[in-house]
Amino acid sequence: MSEERSLNFIEEIVEEDIAAGKNDGRVLTRFPPEPNGYLHIGHAKSICLNFGLAQKYNGKTNLRFDDTNPVKEDVEYVDSIKEDVKWLGFEWAEELYASDYFDKIYEFAVALIKRGLAYVDDSSAEEIAAQKGTPTEPGTPNEYRSRSVEENLQLFADMKAGKYPDGAKVLRAKLDLAAPNMHLRDPLMYRIKHAHHHRTGDAWCIYPMYDFAHGQSDAIEHITHSLCTLEFIPHRPLYDWFIDQLGIFPSKQYEFARLNLNYTVMSKRKLLQLVTEGHVESWDDPRMPTISGLRRRGYTPASIREFCERIGVAKRENMIDVGLLEFCIREDLNKTAWRRMAVLDPIKCILTNYPEGEVETMHGENNPEAEDGDGSREFPFSRELWIEREDFMEVPPKKFFRLGVGLMVRLKNAYIIRCDDFVKDADGNVTEIHCSYLPESKSGNDTSGINVKGTIHWVSVPHAKTAEVRLYDRLFQVENPQSEDGDFKDYLNPNSLDVIQTVYIEPDLANAKPGTPVQFMRKGYFTLDKYSTADKLVFNRTVTLKDGWVKK
């Protein structure tokens, strides 16, 4: 164990267990999603924790689908979950399903009935809720609680055989109706659902509840450390009770605080709503905090793993600043993304003293962060260039290191130019900038002796290719939409997507590949959208560059 970083509280538990010789030092974790939605960045935290723990302690991790509620689940979700876990860079030991254990779990239930620890209850959901009492008043037993073992056995078999409609009966644990912990007031173990299951089909019409499936599945797999989020703390006594009564492998549950990210929502229910109501395009809309959305946005697996490492693991409720996620992707992409030039908001710049029709080939390294620049590429230079509109000002303020009449800048990997003049249209908009270039200032063999403060990017007008660019901003206008009054959707950011139809890009960008990040110099990191075509290139902005220039 490295001494470099201190351990989080779960690592401490694991190390204590190993030191104590528990489970012969074996570590087996599991990642247990319900296949009822797409994975999001919060799941990434759990994935990194579970798989990371196993990697660190020579253990393994199972991927187990908690598929005990057929009406909400689907193979579409199973497939996406597998893809996302793999993409994040993890390999599971076994792909398992709670539904694989339905026979076994049924036997567990029968065993408890035989011991008088479970009974069939004919009450309605409302009646059961009422009989449970309140946090301050104990619950009251009903007539069904005292049914004989034989009757319960028969009734439960009949439930399984499909003799009753949905809701007619449930199987309950006979525990303690006065327990201060509401979860112990005779919790439901099985309910009737005549529903088609995505894996078991119509084989079953009764399905176990979470509390009678999760711990049992853990035990069947001999999971040593079952990690879940804080809201399951009150379930732990039940988790332990069932395992204890059944005499099965004693998996242990430990709880950590789930990830909350500001300016977004993280519940599957809310994310589903954003999709179905059309507030976003799909589950993998680049504005979504889903793994697939982040992937399409241009986030890398390494950056997400790094993020999960940095946020830490503790029991305190937290709200992580999305700025940290952005830091992680910038840090990664800065080292890997090739640099290219693209002008998002173009204005024409004419070099009045440059020969008409002449074309020069300029060179630029792919990545200045790499030792050898990661190689270089060529791009054409000519008399007319597209430059960024914001790189020119009619009345430049004091520390404006760009263009304005009389000011000089360097064109990246090309010449220094001086702004002489500009042209306006009838509405007063600047339409053209006239500059003269300094022939002796060519990049690579500059003998001008002139130093300029600013360097701007450009694209040669006759050689430029075009692309569509999509700029994304935070999905919500407030840090925590679900804590605000009213509907969380009232706080959606109306400007979360800004589509720029025509952007001028240097010719080489026409060869961009999907999934390969690129930095548009001075503008940010971009990646080709998964639905981009050769006819119509579409780039997504992953994240802006940090902007240290404060106007004013």
Partner RNA sequence: UGCCUGAUAGUAUAAUGGUAGUACGACGGUUUUUGGUACCGUUUGUCUAGGUUCGAAUCCUGGUCGGGCAACCA
Question: 480-499: which residues touch RNA (CB under 7 A)?
Answer: 483
Backbone φ, ψ for residue 303 (5° rounding): -70, -35
Q: Which amino acid is at 353?
A: N
User: 467 has which bridge partners?
Assistant: 503
Pick one of 149, 157, 478, 545: the residue that binds RNA (CB under 7 A): 545
Residues 57-116 interacting with RNA (rule: CB under 7 A): 66, 68-69, 72
Is residue 304 a contact residue for RNA (CB under 7 A)? no
Q: Which stretch binds RNA (CB under 7 A): 148-156, 174-182, 344-352, 529-537?
A: 174-182
Pick one of 214, 295, 296, 377: the residue that binds RNA (CB under 7 A): 214
Contact 27, 59 (CB under 8 A): yes
Pick one of 188, 272, 478, 497: the residue that binds RNA (CB under 7 A): 188
Q: Find the shortest distance in angstroms from Cβ 448 to RNA.
A: 10
Q: Which one of 15, 22, 26, 34 is the catalytic residue?
A: 34
Q: Which one of 26, 60, 104, 258 is the catalytic residue?
A: 258
Residues 8-37 interacting with RNA (rule: CB under 7 A): 8-9, 12, 32, 34
Cα dihedral 300, 305, 311, 313 in deg (nearest 10): 160
Is residue 177 a contact residue for RNA (CB under 7 A)? no
Q: Which stretch binds RNA (CB under 7 A): 55-63, 165-173, 430-438, 466-474?
A: 165-173
Is residue 230 a contact residue for RNA (CB under 7 A)? yes
- Look up 160 and say whether it is catalytic: no
**C-beta of 442 vs 541, nearer to RNA:** 442
Q: Which stretch binds RNA (CB under 7 A): 147-155, 309-317, 343-351, 418-426?
A: 309-317
Across the chain, how many H-helices and E-strands are there?
A: 12, 25
Contact 512, 497 (CB under 8 A): no
Within 8 A by CB and 6+ apart from 221, the residues are: 28, 30, 62, 64, 94, 96
Within 8 A by CB and 6+ apart from 58, the residues are: 27
Q: Find the shortest distance in angstroms from Cβ 530 to RNA.
A: 25
Give pairs for 366-370: CB < 8 Å, separation 24+. 366/338, 366/339, 367/335, 367/336, 367/337, 367/338, 367/339, 368/339, 369/334, 369/335, 370/335
Is residue 217 a contact residue for RNA (CB under 7 A)? no
Give pairs for 373-381: CB < 8 Å, separation 24+. 374/338, 377/508, 378/508, 379/341, 379/413, 379/459, 379/460, 379/463, 379/506, 379/507, 379/508, 380/460, 380/463, 380/507, 381/411, 381/414, 381/460
Is residue 543 a contact residue for RNA (CB under 7 A)? no
Is residue 394 a contact residue for RNA (CB under 7 A)? no
Is residue 412 a contact residue for RNA (CB under 7 A)? yes
- Look up 484 and say whether it is catalytic: no
Q: Is the dihedral of CA 241, 245, 246, 249 positive or negative?
A: positive
**C-beta of 296 vs 442, nearer to RNA:** 442
Within 8 A by CB and 6+ apart from 269, the residues are: none
Closest among 191, 197, 256 to 229, alpha carbons compared? 256
**C-beta of 32 vs 346, nearer to RNA:** 32
**C-beta of 300 vs 367, nearer to RNA:** 367
Contact 433, 419 (CB under 8 A): yes
**C-beta of 95 vs 536, nearer to RNA:** 95
Burial 49-75 (b: 16+ CB within 10 A, else e): bbbbbbeebebbbbbbbbbbbbeebee
- Look up 34 and say whether it is catalytic: yes
Is residue 361 a contact residue for RNA (CB under 7 A)? no
Is residue 336 a contact residue for RNA (CB under 7 A)? no
Is residue 297 a contact residue for RNA (CB under 7 A)? no
Q: Is the dihedral of CA 391, 396, 401, 402 positive or negative?
A: positive
Residues 255-294 interacting with RNA (rule: CB under 7 A): 257
Pick one of 79, 115, 116, 129: the residue that binds RNA (CB under 7 A): 129
Q: Which stretch binds RNA (CB under 7 A): 197-205, 245-253, 271-279, 317-325?
A: 317-325
Is residue 198 a contact residue for RNA (CB under 7 A)? no
Q: Find the shortest distance in angstroms from Cβ 273 to RNA.
A: 14
Q: Find the shortest distance in angstroms from Cβ 190 to RNA.
A: 9
Q: Which stretch binds RNA (CB under 7 A): 80-88, 245-253, 310-318, 497-505?
A: 310-318
Residues 428-467 interacting with RNA (rule: CB under 7 A): 442-444, 446, 454-457
3-state DSSP helix/strand/coil percent for the chain, to nearest 5?
35, 25, 40
Is residue 363 a contact residue for RNA (CB under 7 A)? no
Q: Which active-site residues does the annotation give?
A: 34, 258, 268
